[in-house]
Structure 1
């Protein structure tokens, strides 16, 4: 298939710039994969309870976004440098995107927050990324909370006043450069209602990297290569998912990251194994899903790998028809936007 097959017209004013005051008051487009016609309902996210059934397994990604955008000064010249933490390589050592990169060669020393944090460029990584060794006193995560900024997507122009609004309420494990945004719609109270009705929660982790949002540049989508991301599924989560599959219940993934994780960790029979590994799985139309039976997701960018995944699950034409209807009904799009339930 071609990249252009996944294009749709989106007015700029529908790109959500701020999160809603109450997470669960977002709108919910319910897309039915089977049945006559397009099979769409327009609801509110709290109505998700009407579509879940006792015995279903809801898969949540517990990754936590770190405030990975930092600003520094070169020790020698005072030049301003911006960097984005991508991946922890070892204690105190990270792979980073640095701007402007030309000013930052090996052995360059960077100063953050009047000396609260210091970094030395020790090498050049893949794609021109820099390897930086940080020096500090205390706990790195606490220093990062003081100095770092949330790495919001470039289409969000407004400043985020509360960092926690770019975290799910169940975020636990530090490591993501972007939020698993489908989970942003859940409140703790709504999740309690989900559990009370007999739905099991399987908690996994996939640390979202910027590669997930890297534009597809090749017109032939088969030439696109996904960056690898680290995931963890423990025995408890694997058992919950496998119990649902073995007993005729549904596995519903909250977000494309949860989908990619369970599909990566499953065998050809659809059994999910407890493991930690890297995945570069690329899901596009023609893919045969082994585990996922339902998906809660946001509205994604045109021609992105994420809308390709949704199209693989819901059907290419049905997905684009749903997106066009969402535009006509003025849904809010992307990270802080409204949600879809595909069943």
Structure 2
């Protein structure tokens, strides 16, 4: 398929720059994937579309405050590092800006010397391998000095770091939030449980490849980034028992969806495991595990709009997106939500 088939017109002013005061006050577009019917609701209405015995699958990854602003120890020249993934111990792969300052052997300091790092190697695509030195616990130092690695289309500063975390975030390691989950409050999740809907958790650490544009003309030529996932025995059992009963699996976000479809067998059952996935889901893909999806509105020509098109149909999605623009929905990470039901 041509990547250009997933384009749509999006006015820049519809890109949400900040979260709403109340998480579940965002708008919710409900799209029936069978007939294309569209309803306009509020996110807290999602509970009306979930039935006892269904299972909601949430990604409990937690975003690292992975953006560090520092200076070159010898000259004071400014540097920005964006941590991508931990290699081992205090060694990390990161993006450096400006990269020309980050030569092997150079030392940089952050927070008046509270944290230091040395560039020890240069990886693929020019990414730097750095090794940190500090006193205390690294995660606490990073939480103190680091900033949230907000997507490039968000230009305003985020006052409260927790608004770029889901209320159920737990496993640190993400470079970006699983944004479909940002709409849930603890009260809404409790109400969902009290209705008899199960909640299962998995982890997929979102990589920055999520924001990289598709640079090929044909979907067959695109190579997906790889991301780490894990699912334990307890949560695999919840998902499998739901399938056995014939109830629905509702995936919260494209990250949960990619994980479930990576580990699901032909009958839609999963098993506890961890590993790396580079699954690329686009129209023509046959879903094995996921029945319904809660998601945000995605970038034109992105792998994410291709994924939702695979589930709901490209024509349905593009018509829904055009209606979202017409109705002034808020787009992307801090934007409104869509529920694809059947």
The question of a shared fold, defined as TM-score above 0.5 by the shorter chain, is answered with: yes
Which of 304, 325, 329 matches 2:327?
A: 329
Aligned to 1:28: 28
Which of 94, 100, 107 matches 1:96?
A: 94
3-state DSSP of counterpart to 1:291:
coil
3-state DSSP of counterpart to 2:251:
strand
Which of 64, 67, 70 matches 1:66?
A: 64
Matched, 1:312 2:310: yes
Counterparts of 1:213 and 1:252 in 2: how far apart (Å)? 24
Q: Deviations over 1:305-325 (max 9, x none)?
A: 000000000001000000000
3-state DSSP of counterpart to 2:112:
helix
**Contact 1:213–1:305, Cα closer than 8 Å, also in 2:** no
Q: What is the CA-CA distance between 1:183 and the residue it aligns to?
A: 0.3
Q: What is the CA-CA distance between 1:268 and the residue it aligns to?
A: 2.3
Matched, 1:161 2:159: yes
Q: What is the CA-CA distance between 1:269 and the residue it aligns to?
A: 2.5
Matched, 1:293 2:291: yes
3-state DSSP of counterpart to 1:230:
strand
Aligned to 1:135: 133
3-state DSSP of counterpart to 1:30:
strand
Counterparts of 1:52 and 1:268 in 2: how far apart (Å)? 25
3-state DSSP of counterpart to 2:203:
strand
Which of 189, 192, 199 matches 2:190?
A: 192
Aligned to 2:273: 275
**Contact 1:212–1:226, Cα closer than 8 Å, also in 2:** no
Q: Deviations over 1:149-190 (max 9, x none)?
A: 000111111110000000000000100010000000000000
Structure-to-structure mapping, 1:106-255, within 5 angstroms: 106-255=104-253
Q: What is the CA-CA distance between 1:267 and the residue it aligns to?
A: 1.8
Aligned to 2:52: 54
Q: What is the CA-CA distance between 1:45 and the residue it aligns to?
A: 0.5
Counterparts of 1:76 and 1:130 in 2: how far apart (Å)? 19
**Contact 1:151–1:177, Cα closer than 8 Å, also in 2:** yes
Aligned to 1:43: 41
3-state DSSP of counterpart to 2:189:
helix
Counterparts of 1:114 and 1:107 in 2: how far apart (Å)? 20
Q: How many residues align?
A: 341
3-state DSSP of counterpart to 1:114:
coil
Aligned to 1:84: 82
Counterparts of 1:119 and 1:103 in 2: how far apart (Å)? 13
Q: Deviations over 1:109-133 (max 9, x none)?
A: 1111111001011111121100001
Q: What is the CA-CA distance between 1:248 and the residue it aligns to?
A: 0.4
Aligned to 1:2: 2
Q: What is the CA-CA distance between 1:76 and the residue it aligns to?
A: 1.6
Structure 1 runs of 4+ off > 6 angstroms? none
Counterparts of 2:229 and 2:81 in 1: how far apart (Å)? 24
Q: Deviations over 1:74-94 (max 9, x none)?
A: 112211000100000111110
The TM-score, its normalising length taken from structure 2, stands at: 0.99
